[in-house]
Amino acid sequence: MNSTHLASTPTTTIPEIEEFDQIRERLLSHLDGIVPRFEIELHVPKIRRIQELKVAQNAIILGHNYQVPEIFHGIADITGDSLALAREAARAETERIVFCGVHFMAETAKILNPEKRVLLSNLEAGCSLAESITAEDVRQLKAQYPGVPVVNYVNTSAAVKAESDYCCTSSNALQVVEAIDSDRILFLPDEYLTRNTQALTKKELIPWPGRCMVHEVFQASTLEAHRQQFPGIEILAHPECSPEVVAEADFTGSTSAMIDRVADSSADRVMLVTECGMSDNIRNRFPEKEFTTPCTVCPHMKRIDLDNIIEALEKDQYPIEVNPEIAQRARLALERMLEIG
Ligand code: 13P
Ligand code: SF4
C-alpha cells in the first residue's frame, strides 16, 4: 500500500485487502455515532471491492478533506488539502491515481504526473471558482495590465493555469505573492481569497469576481451569534469566505491548516466555517471537542461516491486528458508554486 504520512494531515494506513470484519471495525472506530450503523454495514462490501480493484489496477486513491467519511476513512490512501494532494500526485508511483475530489484537482494531478492514468469517477464534479474564469478572460487581463505577473488559484482549469506565471492554493497564497518580484499582481479568480490576501500584503493585488458557491454564503452575523451563544468558542474560517467572515474568525487557513489548528486548540468548542462534511471526517480525532458547523455542502465534492469509484476502477474511467501544449505551460506555473511552498 502506498500510504504516505503527511505531518499536517491524517492519513489512512490500511492493509491492502482487509477482512469484512476488519473494515467494519475500522469504520466504527472512526465513525460510530457519526454515521448510522446500517449505513456503515452498506459501505463494508463496497470498500472491500474497492480494495480488491485497487490492487488489481495498481491504483492509489487520493481523497480531499471534503470527501464523505466512507471515502475519507474507508478507502483513501492519502487525505489532505489541495496542496498536499498535488504534491502526493506528483510523486505517486502507481499506474493509476483515482482522485476523490473535483475536476481541477484531478487535472492538476495529471499535469504534475503525466505518465500516470488519472481517473475521476464523475466528470461533473466541477467547481464554481474554476467555472468563473476562462483562458480568454486571463489573456484580456494580461493585455489590459501588460507586464503584470499572473497568479491563478489552483481552483482553475488547465487552460487558465497555462495563462499564469504562478499557481497558488489556500495554504500558500501569501507566500507566493511575497515571492514574486513585482508590486502589482493579477491574483485570480477568487475575489475573497484576493481580498483576504490583500489584507496581509503591501503589494497591489488585482482581483477577479469569482466566488466559491459554498464559502460565499457564510455571514459574519452567524459567527457573531455563535460567539455570543458559546463564549470561548474558537472560530476557524477558510480564506474563500468573505473578509467580513474572516475578520470575525479567530483563525483562517486551508482545510488542512484548519484541522491542524483544531489539534492545537485548547477550546472545548470549535466552529469550522467551511464545507460541512469536513467536521464529520475529523470529529472522532477530537472526542473531547464539540463541533459547530453552519452546514453548507459542496455539491461537486459530493458527486464522488463509493459506487462510482467501483465503476471507475472496473471500467478504467474517466481518464483525465490535458492537451500537451497547455499541460506544459500549466506545469510551469504549478512547479513554480511547489518550489515556493
Ligand atoms: P483547500 O486547498 O484548503 O483544501 O481548499 C480547496 C477547496 O476547494 C476549498 O473550497
Ligand atoms: Fe470549488 Fe467551493 Fe466546492 Fe471547493 S468548495 S470545490 S472552491 S465550489
**In a shared domain, residues 137 and 33:** no
Q: Closest residue (by CA) to atom 8 of ligand 2? A: 127
**Is the residue at 339 inside a domain?**
no
Domain boundary among 188, 212, 236: 212
Quick one: which H or E segment has residue 74?
none
- The minimum-distance atom of ligand 1 relative to the CA of 257 is 3
**In a shared domain, residues 79 and 169:** no
**Is the residue at 251 inside a domain?**
yes
Task: Identify whether the C-beta of residue 89 lies closer than 8 Å to the C-beta of residue 55.
Answer: no
| CA 275–ligand 1 middle distance (angstroms) | 9
Return the closest-CA partner of residue 64 out of 204, 244, 274, 269: 274
**Whole-angstrom distance between the N-terminal and C-terminal Cα of the chain?**
27
Q: Closest residue (by CA) to atom 2 of ligand 1? A: 82
What pLDDT, in 10s, does the model give residues 272-326?
A: 999 999 999 999 999 999 998 888 999 999 999 999 999 999 999 999 999 999 9
**In a shared domain, residues 17 and 115:** yes
**Is the residue at 322 inside a domain?**
no
Return the closest-CA partner of residue 175 out of 106, 254, 240, 243: 254
**Is the residue at 321 inside a domain?**
no
Residue 27: how many other CB atoms lie within 10 Å: 22
**In a shared domain, residues 273 and 284:** yes
**Is the residue at 163 inside a domain?**
yes
C-alpha cell at 142: 494580461
Per-residue model confidence (pLDDT) at position 293: 81
Task: Identify whether the C-beta of residue 268 lies closer than 8 Å to the C-beta of residue 232.
Answer: yes
Q: Structurally, how many domains does the chain consist of?
A: 3
CA distance 219 to 294: 10
**In a shared domain, residues 149 and 168:** yes
C-alpha cell at 78: 492519502
**In a shared domain, residues 112 and 29:** yes
Q: Which of 72, 78, 169, 259 to mutate to test the pocket of ligand 1 (most atoms within 8 A of CB)?
A: 169
CA distance 217 to 337: 29
**In a shared domain, residues 47 and 75:** yes
What pLDDT, in 10s, does the model give residues 24-66?
A: 999 999 999 999 999 999 999 999 999 999 999 999 999 999 9
What pLDDT, in 10s, does the model give residues 153-193?
A: 999 999 999 999 999 999 999 999 999 999 999 999 999 99
pTM for the complete prediction? 0.95
Q: Closest residue (by CA) to atom 3 of ligand 2? A: 298
Boundaries of domain holding 238:
215-292
**In a shared domain, residues 268 and 284:** yes
Residue type, 31: L
Contact residues of ligand 1, CB 6 A cut-off: 65, 81-83, 155, 169-170, 212, 238, 240, 254-255
Q: For position 192, which CATH number holds?
A: 3.40.50.10800
Per-residue model confidence (pLDDT) at position 57: 96
Task: Identify whether the C-beta of residue 43 lies closer than 8 Å to the C-beta of residue 51.
Answer: no
331, pLDDT greater than 70: yes
**Is the residue at 325 inside a domain?**
no
Q: What angle do CA 256, 113, 301 make, to 5 degrees?
A: 40
